[in-house]
Copies of this chain bind each other. A is one copy, B any other.
Amino acid sequence: MKHRSAQLAALMAALVVSTLAGAEPHAGDWIDVSAPIDPKTAPVYPGNAPVKLDFMMHYEKGDKLALSSYSLGAHTGTHVDAPLHFIKGGTPVDLVPLQHFVGPARVIDCSPDAKVIDAAELNKHDWKGARRILFRTRNSRNHWMTDPTFHEDFTYVAADAAQLLADAGVELVGIDYLSIEKFHSPDPRTHLILLGKGIPVVEGLQLADVTAGDYDLIVLPLRVSGHEAAPARAILKHRP
């Protein structure tokens, strides 16, 4: 009897722990899915400008306040590609209509080992009807958005999947590494298909701790006049 109640107590403790660990956030809780902007953790796509964060003033220098300055590529951390990135004469990031950036979104949890999201992989999931789609891939499971080493073999979206999304009229597509395109592709068809249809692309999302499902999304890029991309903050909230 004593043995059985000890077993029961252990079982109940295990249940409590697993419930807490797997607890969904409260309905009102926003989840930060932005990657930190930090030279110690942020990967940089080859050829892009490095991240530099400086304190022009700081308490440790004897100042009475802290004052920062930043230098970074437009595609640092979580960021938005506007059509101008790959389309000559395309819409710059400051003029992409705000409705793309605020509203319902679906997080799709891709097959654990998928290195490419092609039409076949996309169609394994319930994506139709979703207005904004964010792909959670092995990039997130490997925590690559907080690993300063750039990983060339990141999971990307292939042209046939991009075409399906564009034809379906989605308002935004997101992915969890620094590009939605195969690394150093000589023919950037995924970008051309999406941006060519005016669909902004969010790259560098941090989706490690997010489960598949429907959310409210807010992703707001800085209002940088006339440029082709901008760093952004992105947050999600479970839809009731």
Compute how far the CA of A36 lies from the CA of B77 in the bound complex, rounded to whole angstroms: 21
Also in contact, A225 and B48, with CB within 8 A (given A74-B67, A74-B69): no
Complex contacts, A84 vs chain B, CB 8 Å: 66
**Binding-face segment, A94-102, A105-113, A150-158, A165-173:** A94-102
Given contacts A102-B30, A221-B233, A223-B233, contact A67 B47 (CB under 8 A): yes
Which residues 23-67 in A have Cβ within 8 Å of B in the complex? Answer: 28, 30, 32, 34-38, 40-41, 47-49, 53, 55-56, 59, 64-67
A226 touches B38 (CB 8 A): yes
Please tell me if A208 contacts chain B, counting CB pairs below 8 Å: no
How many monomers of this protein are in the complex? 2
Indicate whether A18 reaches chain B with its CB closer than 8 angstroms: no
Contact A225 B70 (CB under 8 A): no
Complex CA distance for A40 and B227, rounded to whole angstroms = 14
